[in-house]
């Protein structure tokens, strides 16, 4: 008799856990594990589903081979409802089912706005200028009998970022909650089980709130402050169920508040901690603390944004990195080298220096002339400051900021290799893909791309994690998404981000997406239509669908897609792009001067037109999948017409292009913009000649880099693609590795061969976009290509 597989990993929607889900009828998925090598070609034919709801049990037998995002069979859940679910499957050549899966618990969050009775509270005195000093809030409550408590849930969010405590213990292991969303429209909340932290008698809930992304300065040239609001606030709702009923402790005027011992805490500039203003230990978070000097809070207007339970996991510490060297610079500065460019913070387990000593920790990614290379940070200070009380400071780390760094310059304290370490921070996604070859430098390239992804997936997908920017640029994630979604399960995080993109885009009259999401630039840099960047509306949902098979992502984003293509694109008389509109195009072409990164060899309108034909075809396919028959036919006709006009405009009968560059040829080959075999053959041969002429150096920017090796392989020049990959002279993928890079750089020459930093204002050493080559490593080198419409 053949063995049956084991059911594992029962999950709900794209939610990271089963607690606090914000959907009343969540879809379910499960996987199979085979512990017996006799199990081959096994396929599910049906499954049993058992659901316990309160005291009742529901049983379902469903004939289906699907185990991915299967429909919820029962009546919709209601707020706070807790159910238990298990699955068993039928399949193979025997009639007996698999063993039941382990029971999984699913718990709904607060599904309706009226479920929230908490008020938004702030300090009694409104701060007039930024940076805003972080605030602390406290509320005592009593529990008569701990034995009678059956459930205790804290529903919490903030205008700013928060850390909550119950009876002196941190609530959760998250960082910078509730994360960054389009705060005008969507505000995440978190759900915590705090029952293990409660005790009989007097209890305390305490919360510290800092600016985070809500009120800090964001953007270029120092940024703009108070984009979303000019004061921080807490919204908390603690619900304790017991045998006697439900007690609800809400944030309201009965709470007390005080300014924090943190003088300031900003995303770009870092955190200033004055230990002289800190009470002994963390006493303010316990019931032993006397808060007589604290003041009453002030209730403020409740946010108009929808309160959302996010699908994405929280930001967490995911790795500890110890220093590898202590350096004394030529000017006598003390610099700690962690050996890896990372995103996170420093932790010092124990620190004791004389009272009033000011210790500074300044972070940077590189050294220049053996001194800390801070020029690429622009106006961002990236400096944490500790002012000593004279007492021992234990387990210090900044609470509400993060830095991109490999090196930390420290003043007024002597670091060693053992008295501090770095903590890596990012959205705690599940790792799903790895790559390893026999070539050490190719392995290093892949590792560098993974590090850059981790460092730039911190609540949202950002461009860089260090300078006065750190924004959710749409073009960067559009080209890197196929790579990212192989490396980690990005479905929850990126689908959440896409919802922000939609609300930002659809709130405008013209339906043009902002350059960055959440949008913090349009007040000073109004958005105008752009290929590649704005095409994220179509290409990112399509990538997620191909990777995860979630058709609801397509359905949810469909209005955004159609709005962009029908209203957002600025067209000329031929229905292609308006030639007069500036296009970012093949951004960061290696020949572009440092001060003008958009000055590429490939015409920007050519790039835009190629993308327009491509995304029109894809939107036709999406329309067909979703059953929008009329739109599917319309976009198919539009695609064929655009392709014909593109060929008339740019392609000779022999397949030669008006724009004869590596990027132009790669686009027409990879996007199937040519018809005849002779045209394709000639274009491939010309691309091969250009690659050889460039001596295998990269000649592409944002548009060409993700596809150049794919295109070479598509027309039979596989060995050229491999040779190009291994080129070590600049510009190439291997050049940064020869220079000691541990992440992907923004520019091919962010650091010059002589060790000097590129003079351009935009010079990041942690930018994943040019690392999109790893998608080719996964698909063409490793051969992991989906044989159907999506992976399942």
Neighbour count for residue 370 (Cβ, 10 Å): 14
What is the C-alpha separation between 356 and 491, in angstroms, rounded? 48
Strands 421-427 and 403-411: unpaired
Neighbour count for residue 49 (Cβ, 10 Å): 18
What is the C-alpha separation between 463 and 472, in angstroms, rounded? 6
Peptide bond into 478 cis (omega under 30): no
Annotated catalytic residue, options 107, 208, 365, 746: 746
Annotated catalytic residue, options 469, 504, 638, 727: 469
Strands 460-461 and 457-458: antiparallel
Neighbour count for residue 246 (Cβ, 10 Å): 11
Give the Å distances, CA to CA, from 262 to 120, 245, 555, 651: 22, 39, 45, 62
Neighbour count for residue 723 (Cβ, 10 Å): 14
> Which residues are 224's β-sheet partners?
218
Q: What is the dihedral of CA 531, 537, 543, 548, to 10 degrees?
A: 180
* Cα distance between the two ends of the chain: 27
- Asked if residue 195 lies in contact with residue 148, where contact means CB atoms within 8 angstroms, the answer is no
Exposed (0-12), middle (13-18) or buried (19+): which is 147, by Cβ within 10 Å? exposed
What is the C-alpha separation between 196 and 198, in angstroms, rounded? 6
- Asked if residue 300 lies in contact with residue 120, where contact means CB atoms within 8 angstroms, the answer is yes
DSSP states along 711-739: HHHHTT-HHHHHHHHH--SSSSSSHHHHT
469 is catalytic: yes
What is the C-alpha separation between 590 and 730, in angstroms, rounded? 9
Neighbour count for residue 696 (Cβ, 10 Å): 19
Give the helix/strand (H/E) hosting 121.
strand 120-122
211 is catalytic: no
- Enumerate the active-site residues: 469, 746
């Amino acid at each position: 008799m053949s063995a049956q597989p084991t059911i594992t990993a029962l999950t709900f929607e794209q939610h990271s856990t089963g607690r606090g889900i914000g959907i009343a009828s969540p879809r379910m998925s499960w996987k199979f594990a085979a512990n017996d090598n006799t199990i081959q070609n096994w396929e599910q034919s049906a499954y049993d589903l058992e659901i316990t709801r309160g005291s009742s049990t529901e049983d379902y037998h469903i004939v289906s081979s699907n185990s991915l995002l299967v429909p919820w069979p029962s009546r919709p859940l209601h707020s706070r409802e807790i159910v238990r679910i298990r699955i068993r499957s039928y399949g193979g050549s025997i009639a007996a089912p698999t063993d039941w899966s382990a029971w999984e618990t699913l718990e709904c969050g607060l599904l309706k706005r009226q479920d929230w009775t908490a008020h938004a509270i702030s300090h009694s005195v409104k701060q007039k200028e930024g940076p805003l000093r972080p605030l602390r809030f406290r509320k005592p409550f009593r529990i008569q009998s701990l034995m009678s408590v059956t459930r205790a849930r804290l529903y919490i969010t903030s205008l700013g970022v928060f850390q909550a405590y119950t009876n002196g213990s941190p609530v959760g292991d998250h960082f910078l909650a509730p994360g960054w969303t389009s705060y005008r429209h969507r505000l995440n909340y978190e759900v915590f089980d705090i029952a293990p932290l409660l005790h009989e008698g007097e209890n305390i809930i305490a919360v510290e709130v800092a600016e985070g992304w809500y009120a800090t300065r964001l953007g270029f040239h120092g940024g703009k402050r108070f984009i979303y609001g000019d004061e921080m606030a807490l919204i908390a709702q603690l619900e304790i169920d017991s045998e006697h009923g439900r007690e609800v402790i809400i944030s309201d005027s009965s709470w007390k508040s005080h300014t924090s011992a943190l003088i300031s805490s900003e995303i770009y500039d870092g955190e200033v901690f004055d230990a002289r203003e800190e009470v002994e230990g963390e006493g303010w978070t316990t019931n032993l603390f006397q808060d007589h000097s604290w003041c009453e809070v002030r209730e403020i207007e409740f946010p108009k944004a929808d309160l959302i339970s996010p699908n994405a996991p929280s930001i967490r510490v995911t790795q500890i990195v110890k220093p590898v060297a202590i350096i004394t610079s030529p000017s006598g500065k003390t610099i700690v080298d962690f050996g890896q460019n990372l995103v996170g913070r420093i932790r010092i387990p124990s620190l004791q220096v004389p009272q009033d000593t000011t210790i500074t920790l300044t972070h940077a990614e590189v050294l220049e002339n053996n001194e800390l290379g801070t020029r690429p940070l622009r106006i961002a200070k990236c400096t944490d400051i500790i002012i000593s009380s004279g007492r021992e400071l234990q387990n210090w780390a900044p609470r509400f900021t993060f830095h991109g760094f490999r090196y930390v310059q420290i003043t007024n304290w002597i670091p060693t290799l053992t008295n501090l370490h770095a903590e890596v921070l990012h959205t705690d996604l599940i790792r799903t893909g790895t790559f390893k070859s026999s070539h050490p430098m190719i392995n290093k390239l892949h590792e560098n791309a993974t590090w850059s992804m981790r460092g730039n997936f911190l609540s949202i997908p950002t461009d860089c994690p260090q300078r006065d920017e750190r924004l959710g640029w749409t073009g960067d994630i559009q080209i890197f998404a196929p790579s990212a979604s192989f490396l980690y399960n990005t479905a929850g995080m990126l689908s959440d981000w896409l919802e922000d993109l939609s609300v930002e885009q659809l709130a405008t009259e013209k339906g043009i997406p902002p350059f960055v999401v959440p949008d913090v630039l349009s007040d000073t840099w109004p958005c105008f239509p752009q290929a590649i960047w704005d095409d994220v509306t179509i290409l990112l949902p399509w990538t997620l669908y191909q990777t995860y098979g979630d058709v609801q992502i397509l359905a949810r984003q469909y209005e955004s897609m159609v709005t962009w293509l029908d209203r957002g694109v600025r067209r000329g008389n031929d229905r292609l792009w308006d030639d007069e509109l500036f296009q970012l195009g093949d951004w960061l072409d290696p020949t572009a001067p440092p001060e003008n990164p958009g000055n590429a060899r490939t015409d920007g309108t050519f790039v835009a037109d190629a993308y327009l034909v491509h995304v029109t075809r894809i939107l036709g396919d999406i329309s067909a999948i979703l059953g929008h028959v009329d739109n599917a036919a319309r976009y198919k006709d539009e695609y064929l017409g655009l392709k014909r006009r593109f060929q008339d405009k740019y392609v000779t009968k022999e397949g030669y292009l008006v724009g004869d560059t590596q990027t132009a040829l790669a686009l027409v080959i990879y996007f199937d913009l040519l018809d005849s075999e002779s045209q394709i053959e000639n274009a491939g041969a010309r691309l091969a000649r250009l690659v050889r002429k460039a001596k295998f150096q990269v000649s592409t920017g944002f548009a060409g880099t993700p596809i150049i090796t794919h295109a070479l392989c598509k027309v039979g020049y596989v060995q050229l693609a491999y040779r190009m990959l291994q080129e070590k002279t600049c510009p190439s993928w291997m050049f940064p590795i020869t220079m000691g890079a541990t992440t992907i750089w923004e520019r091919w020459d962010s650091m010059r061969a002589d060790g000097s930093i590129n003079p351009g204002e935009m010079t990041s050493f942690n930018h994943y976009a040019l690392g999109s080559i790893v998608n080719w490593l996964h698909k063409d080198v490793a051969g992991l290509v989906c044989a159907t419409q999506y992976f399942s």
